[in-house]
Amino acid sequence: MTQLQDTDTIDWGPFGRPLFEDAAAKGLSRVGVIDVGSNSVRLVVFDGAARSPAYFYNEKIMCALGAGLSQTGRLSPEGRTRALSAIRRFAALAEGMGIPTLTAVATAAVREASDGAEFREDVLRETGIKIWIVDGKEEARLSAQGVLLGWPGSYGLVCDIGGSSMELADLAEGRVGRRLTSALGPLKLREIKGGRKAVKAYVRETMEALHDEMGNSTGMRLFLVGGSWRAIARVDMERRNYPLTVLHEYRMSSRQISKTAEYIRQSDLQDLRGRCNISDSRMSLVPLATIVLKELMRTFKPKDVAISSYGLREGMLYEQMPRELRERDPLIEACRFVEAKDARLPGFGRILYDFVKPLFPRANWQRQRIIKAACLLHDVSWRAHPDYRGEVTFDNATRANLGGLKHYERVLLGLALMNRYTSKTANSRFDPLFAMLNEAQIKEAVVLGKAMRLGAMLWVNAEEAPGTLKWRPKTSELTLKLSEHARPLFGEVAEARFAGLANVLGATSSVKFTK
């Protein structure tokens, strides 16, 4: 196989040269973060060089450090014991993984407790890990940066709920603006006396004060960060029988949230917990979190709501990224990374994109990036059994931890990749997911898949384009132009694939060979 072209001489097109091989990006290949929250303690080890956070390791232990804090002013004794044990374990794991840098941060419970400094010293003495205690505004900033990791250049309002606090941050033109913190965490609310009525009154008063301080934040896009919000979204999926269980980028309307809040109120929480695979300790906080969310919606009146699985921990990864990497499209960079690691012919995705692009003359930049992603991923599942490659590629696309993808775009990408390997997509177990697309989107995915299926047969290296497609929508004419030395590649199978592509387009087809 021929050597790949010097990357400095390649025209990379609108998405620019890949950055994951740069020294600054390689330094992010193992980034470890311990997040000591009011409710949980978590270790995340990122492989962050690809711009989208790949979770090399992710473990959470529910410790409830902040339980009883409002009454005693101190960390929960049981929570301290469990948290110290968890951090001891995480330190050993990080050492075994060879993590060069392990950053530990603590939020509301540790910063507010009178024995927070003492706990911090215990951790340092027993594990050698120094915990950085961040204040509420810094927590809001880091959480908002986590949102930017998945949505570069985004705007709106970020709301991060933890066990003991809730933070708000403005985003505008990809930058974090005004930040506020409050005591609206469910662990704190659980300790308010007077029952549900008193809690609702306190939440309303606090939320209105936050709204007054935030200024012109009404009607913006709302990004929800935090385990309690994700639990509510998971229940919303269960209530709606939603076919895709990926929480990142899940959208909810104000009406859906109201219905789900009532659904939670009327449900047996243990039964609901089991059906939604939510931990018992998390589920116990959900009813209080729904009160906060309903009041948040009533007060700020967001135009739409998106769940972000990226928060403070991902914000710390974003903090370490060079500016050039931050500004890259997380989807494209991640797909390039996967192609370089898993494809049989790394670099071919760029050539394939140029080959199929003429079939989509009206594609805007959002659609172009889906087409590009599909071309980069078209061959990364080649190790799967031939009978299941279509299903494997669909599963990978719809469930992979990729940023910058709406749910329907995941399905569109998956269906295109599925058609790269098979024409048998009807009456499959994925039919409920296909229903998320309209007829035009389904046709687009099929066309893209068949075009990639054809293109994959016509190349023997990642440097040279032996052919081009020309598509005339007005006259429904599809022409394949091949160089003379590519003639041997255009055998019976390739001819049948070209005919199949023309059939989906409803086109007359012709093949021309050029010298």
Query: How is the chain split into domains, by residue range?
Result: 27-133, 137-314, 328-462
pLDDT score recorded for residue 154: 87
What is the average pLDDT score of the chain?
A: 90
- Per DSSP, which regions of 336-473 are E strands? 467-472
Sheet holding 131-133, edge to edge: 54-62, 40-47, 31-36, 102-106, 131-133
pLDDT score recorded for residue 28: 65
Are the C-beta atoms of residues 57 and 97 closer than 8 Å to each other? yes
pLDDT grade for 428, boundaries at 50, 70 and 90: confident
Q: Which one of 39-53, 234-248, 451-465 scores highest in mean pLDDT?
A: 234-248
* pLDDT for 37 beyond 60: yes
pLDDT grade for 465, boundaries at 50, 70 and 90: confident
Whole-prediction pTM: 0.88
pLDDT score recorded for residue 401: 78
> What region does 36 belong to: left with phi over 0, alpha with psi -120 to 50, or beta?
beta
Q: Which residues contact 443 (CB under 8 A, 6 or more apart)?
A: 504
Span 137-314 CATH architecture: 2-Layer Sandwich (3.30)
* pLDDT for 12 beyond 60: no
* pLDDT for 25 beyond 60: no
pLDDT score recorded for residue 327: 83
210-245 residue pLDDT tens: 999 998 776 789 999 999 999 999 999 999 999 999
* pLDDT for 375 beyond 50: yes
99-134 residue pLDDT tens: 877 899 999 999 999 999 999 999 999 999 999 999
The distance from CA 450 to its chain's CA centroid, rounded to whole angstroms, is: 27
pLDDT score recorded for residue 10: 54
> What region does 226 belong to: left with phi over 0, alpha with psi -120 to 50, or beta?
left
For residue 240, the SS3 value is helix
Closest CA to 175 of 14, 327, 19: 327
Fold: same for 27-133 and 137-314: yes
Residues paired with 511 in a beta bridge = 480
What whole-number distance in Å separates Cα of residue 379 and Cα of residue 350?
A: 12
Alpha-carbon torsion (261, 262, 263, 264), positive or negative: positive
Spell 378-401 as b/e; 16+ CB within 10 A means b: bbbbeebeeeebbbbbbbbbbebe
Q: Give the CATH fold of the 328-462 domain.
A: Hypothetical protein af1432 (1.10.3210)
- 27-133 homologous superfamily: ATPase, nucleotide binding domain (3.30.420.40)
Q: Which residues contact 5 (CB under 8 A, 6 or more apart)?
A: 347, 462, 463
Span 2-23, mean pLDDT? 50
pLDDT score recorded for residue 2: 36
432-453 residue pLDDT tens: 999 999 999 999 999 999 999 9
Q: Which one of 19-28, 124-133, 336-345 scores highest in mean pLDDT?
A: 124-133
* H or E element, residue 178: strand 175-182
What whole-number distance in Å separates Cα of residue 271 and Cα of residue 269?
A: 5
**Would you list the DSSP string of 288-349?**
HHHHHHHHHHHHH--SEEEEES--HHHHHHHHHS-HHHHTS-HHHHHHHHHHHHH-SSTTHH
What whole-number distance in Å separates Cα of residue 14 and Cα of residue 372?
A: 10
pLDDT score recorded for residue 469: 94
Closest CA to 328 of 26, 20, 9, 24: 20
